[in-house]
Amino acid sequence: MCVGGDANLPEHVRENQQLLRCPNCGSLMSIDAVYLREDPRSKSKVIERALSCKDCKIRIRQYIYISRL
Ligand SMILES: [Zn+2]
Q: Domain containing 44: what range?
A: 6-66
| CA of residue 27 to ligand 1 center, whole Å | 6
Q: Is the pTM of this model over 0.75?
A: no
| CA of residue 52 to ligand 1 center, whole Å | 8
**Domain contains 1:** no
Tens-digit pLDDT profile for residues 21-68: 999 999 999 999 998 899 888 888 998 999 999 999 999 999 988 887
Q: How many CA atoms lie within 13 A of 51 on its CB side?
A: 26
CA dihedral 31, 7, 9, 4 (to 10 degrees): -100
How many domains, in total, are found in the chain? 1
CATH number, domain containing residue 21: 2.20.25.420
CA distances from 44 to 36, 40, 51, 67 (A): 11, 7, 22, 5
Q: For residue 29, with 0-12 CB atoms within 10 Å meaning exposed, 13-18 middle and 19 or more buried, which class applies? A: buried
| CA of residue 41 to ligand 1 center, whole Å | 34
